[in-house]
Each structure stands twice: as structure tokens, then as C-alpha cells.
């Protein structure tokens, strides 16, 4: 269509960049786990997520890896990004009061041409300062103490962001294409038994370093494709339990819901899908098993504010498992595959076949039905929490 207000001699307007389109079906998620607990290179997850590069727009990518810090397997590991030296100094002073610092260093990175702005990135391996725990937060678990500290930093220290806080795991994320972020963080040099990755196409929220996926809390990590229209309800519900949302994106609530439901309330992962992607009331009424019907009704009533509305496909991991879930009408794609001890979950089958040419089995899980892979090797579970 001609623009009558442009002079005839004016050049044609430039084409609109991909990032200016709102493509709400985009974002790519992928995850690979070795259920025997064996470590494997980050090269596979790198290739898998880069196979779905067209699902992002360069405004966010990231990786989560489990088992990468065996020398500090019993210490809490914080990955922190800073915009200023002042915020770095303020945060480190805070950490010295609340923890016993075992080791700290810059997160290893390399120069990548396409990544311009780079925050200051540090990682800290720490034990809890038991005296401070008793003084500031009496009668709470170590996990709850860590959460309080993480959320206090993220909500009160300007220009500081704790984006990973588990044990023997780490999240690496930022603004950029997945190949650039992977090269920047030297992902191929790490070995882990679970890897997840995300390629972001921000829809309703800004693309910034802290807002890239995966999102983490303790050893939970969440990679999400979709939109959460129930964010306001979910957020207010979580705030009743002390969680603070400070990342300016809807996905943050998913990580906190998993921590609340599984770790604090002890709900089996197999039942989490009945809460987050609860079946419709009409579907529940058609269930013949009376006990199952009553249980699903109770979960819908008790956890009504934890229901996630909107289209979504998520890959969630912790030290013991990897979990995939669609919304109840499967408005976002999710494909699973197996090859011996390996479990693969991704937005596209092509991302799986990029690193596993001939899987033993490929399937698409129905909406609302979780796919769960657990680590079987008891020895490799030695330093892991038991929830999940």
C-alpha cells in the first residue's frame, strides 16, 4: 500500500526487522539428560538449540547444566550479573555476612563479535553462615534461607541479579543468539548429566540479560515457550509464601511454583501437571475412577491460583530429573525421544535428530501430561537434594 504522505522522491522504507514482529508461537526449548548420571559435553545441547535458531530473534538465549562443579559439589553456587562495580561491591559485602565464602571468580567467557554489552559476571561457591541463619531467619531450612538471600539481593540491590543459586549446577544466559551465547559462555567446555537450553523471542516482556531463560531458583531451572495470561494471579499467590518476582517476565513464576509445590508441599512430579495444567471440569466429570475424580477436584480447588493459563511448553530440571509439560490443549509444540539412557525433549523433532540421528522412540506427549526422566545412578545422586 502506498503512503500518500511520503514525497514521491523519498526512498522506500527499510524492511521491518524480524525482532519487530510479535510472533507469539516462537521460542525454542530443548533438554537432554543421561538417566544413568553420566556426564557429556555441552556440544550436543549447543547443536540442538542452534538447530532452532529461527525460533528466536537474538534477544535472549541460555543454558542450564547439572554436574558441572564436582569440586564444589556440596557448596551453594551463585551466578551473579552486575551492571556496575558499586553493585558488585555491595552484593559481595552482603554475601560475606550471610555465607562462608569458599571460592569466587569471574565466570569464564570469551569475546564474541555479536555480543556488545556484557555485564560483570561472577560465580561464588559458599556455605551457609549458620550464625547468620539463626540471627536473621530463625527456624527455617537451608533452602529457604538461600531463597530469602537470593530474593533480597534481587529486590533491594540495584543493578545486581542472582540468576543461578543451586549446588553443582549453573545457569548461563544473556541477550544474544544461542550460538553467540553458547560461545560466549564456552558451553562446549563443560560436561553435565542434564542440559537444557532456550532460544527466546520476547513477546510481552523486555529482552534483557536477567530476563533470558532458563530461570532458576535453588537447583530448579525452567525454559519456557509461550505466554502466561494468569501471571498476575500466580504472582500474588506466590507472594503469600514469601516469593518475590523481580525479573519482569511471566516465566519467573513457573520456577517458584515448582519449588513451592514439589519441595515445600511435597507433591509428586506426576501430579504437578494436574495443578499447573489442570484438566477441564468437564473432563474431570467424565472420569470413572471415583477416587481419581475426587483427587483432581480437590487439586483444582486447593491450587486454583497455581493454574497456569495461556499457551505454554516448558522444560524444567533439577538435580534429580528433567520434566516436560504442555498446556492442557497443547497450543505449543513439545516432542520427546529416547535413546538407551538418554531422554530428549524439544520444541521440534529436528532439534532432537540433530544430535540423535536414530532414536529408539519418538513421541508427542498429550497436553497436560508430563514427561519425566529421573537419574537412576544412586552414586551420582550423593550430593543432590531429594525433592522431585
Q: Which residues touch 253 (CB under 8 Å, ≥6 apart)?
A: 228, 231, 234, 235, 238, 245
- pLDDT, one tens digit per residue, over 266-313 is 999 999 999 999 999 999 999 999 999 999 999 999 999 999 999 999
Same domain, 260 and 354: yes
Range of the domain at 275: 25-68+168-381
Contact between residue 154 and residue 341 where contact means Cβ atoms under 8 Å apart: no
Is 156 domain-assigned?
A: yes
Same domain, 145 and 51: no
Same domain, 76 and 153: yes
Is 59 domain-assigned?
A: yes
pLDDT number for residue 384? 52
Same domain, 176 and 318: yes
pLDDT number for residue 206? 73
What is the spatial distance between Cα 177 and Cα 73, in angstroms, rounded to a whole number?
30
27 annotated active-site: yes
* Mean of pLDDT over the chain: 90
Same domain, 182 and 158: no
For residues 186-208, average pLDDT: 89
Same domain, 163 and 243: no
Instruction: List the catalytic residue out of 27, 77, 245, 336.
Output: 27
Same domain, 154 and 228: no
Is 12 domain-assigned?
A: no
Q: Where are the alpha helices (DSSP H) in the chain?
A: 43-50, 85-98, 130-136, 142-156, 178-184, 231-239, 252-258, 269-276, 281-285, 290-302, 349-353
Q: Which of 135, 167, 199 is where one domain is finished?
A: 167
pTM of the model: 0.90
What is the tally of structural domains in the chain? 2
Is 14 domain-assigned?
A: no
- pLDDT, one tens digit per residue, over 118-172 is 999 999 999 999 999 988 777 899 999 999 999 999 999 999 999 999 999 999 9
More confident residue, 20 or 275: 275
Same domain, 192 and 277: yes
Is 387 domain-assigned?
A: no
Same domain, 41 and 112: no
Would you state the cell numbers that stand for residue 54, as one nine-digit string? 529461527
Same domain, 132 and 145: yes
Specify the long-range contacts of residues 229-238, CB closer than 8 Å, at least 24 apart. 229/309, 229/310, 230/307, 230/308, 230/309, 230/310, 233/305, 234/305, 234/306, 234/308, 236/305, 237/305, 237/306
pLDDT number for residue 9? 40
Q: Which of 140, 167, 194 is where one domain is finished?
A: 167
Is 51 domain-assigned?
A: yes
Amino acid at each position: 500500500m502506498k503512503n500518500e504522505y511520503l514525497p514521491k522522491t523519498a526512498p522506500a522504507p527499510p524492511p521491518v526487522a524480524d525482532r519487530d514482529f510479535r510472533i507469539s508461537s516462537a521460542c525454542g526449548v530443548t533438554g537432554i539428560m543421561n538417566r544413568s548420571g553420566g556426564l557429556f559435553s555441552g556440544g550436543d545441547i549447543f547443536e540442538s538449540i542452534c538447530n532452532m535458531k529461527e525460533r528466536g530473534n537474538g534477544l535472549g538465549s541460555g543454558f542450564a547444566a547439572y554436574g558441572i562443579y564436582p569440586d564444589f559439589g556440596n557448596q551453594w553456587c551463585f551466578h551473579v550479573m552486575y551492571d556496575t562495580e558499586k553493585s558488585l561491591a555491595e552484593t559481595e559485602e552482603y554475601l560475606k555476612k550471610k555465607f562462608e565464602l569458599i571460592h569466587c571468580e569471574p565466570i569464564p567467557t570469551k569475546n564474541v563479535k555479536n555480543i556488545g554489552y556484557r555485564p560483570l559476571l561472577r560465580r561464588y561457591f559458599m556455605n551457609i553462615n549458620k550464625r547468620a541463619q539463626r540471627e536473621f531467619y530463625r527456624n527455617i531450612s537451608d533452602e529457604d534461607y538461600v531463597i530469602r538471600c537470593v530474593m533480597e539481593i534481587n529486590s533491594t540491590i540495584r543493578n545486581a541479579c542472582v540468576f543461578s543459586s543451586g549446588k553443582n549446577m549453573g545457569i548461563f544466559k544473556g541477550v544474544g543468539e544461542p550460538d553467540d551465547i553458547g560461545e560466549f559462555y564456552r558451553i562446549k567446555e563443560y560436561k553435565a548429566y542434564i542440559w537444557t537450553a532456550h532460544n527466546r523471542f520476547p513477546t510481552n516482556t523486555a529482552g534483557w540479560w536477567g530476563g533470558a531463560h532458563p530461570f532458576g531458583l535453588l537447583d530448579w531451572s525452567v525454559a519456557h515457550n509461550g505466554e502466561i495470561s494468569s501471571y498476575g494471579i500466580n504472582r500474588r499467590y506466590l507472594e503469600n509464601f514469601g516469593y518475590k518476582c523481580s525479573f519482569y517476565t511471566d516465566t519467573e513464576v513457573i520456577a517458584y511454583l515448582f519449588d513451592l509445590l514439589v519441595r515445600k508441599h511435597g507433591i509428586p512430579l506426576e501430579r504437578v501437571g494436574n495443578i499447573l495444567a489442570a484438566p477441564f471440569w468437564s473432563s474431570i466429570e467424565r472420569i470413572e475412577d471415583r477416587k481419581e475424580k475426587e483427587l483432581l477436584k480437590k487439586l483444582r480447588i486447593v491450587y486454583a491460583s497455581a493454574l497456569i493459563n495461556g499457551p505454554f511448553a516448558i522444560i524444567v530440571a533439577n538435580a534429580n530429573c528433567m520434566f516436560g509439560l504442555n498446556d492442557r490443549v497443547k497450543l505449543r509444540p513439545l516432542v520427546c525421544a529416547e535413546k538407551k539412557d538418554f531422554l530428549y525433549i524439544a520444541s521440534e523433532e529436528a532439534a532432537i535428530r540433530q544430535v540423535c540421528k536414530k532414536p529408539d522412540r519418538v513421541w508427542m506427549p498429550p497436553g497436560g501430561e508430563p514427561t519425566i526422566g529421573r537419574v537412576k545412578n544412586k552414586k551420582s545422586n550423593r550430593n543432590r537434594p531429594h525433592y522431585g
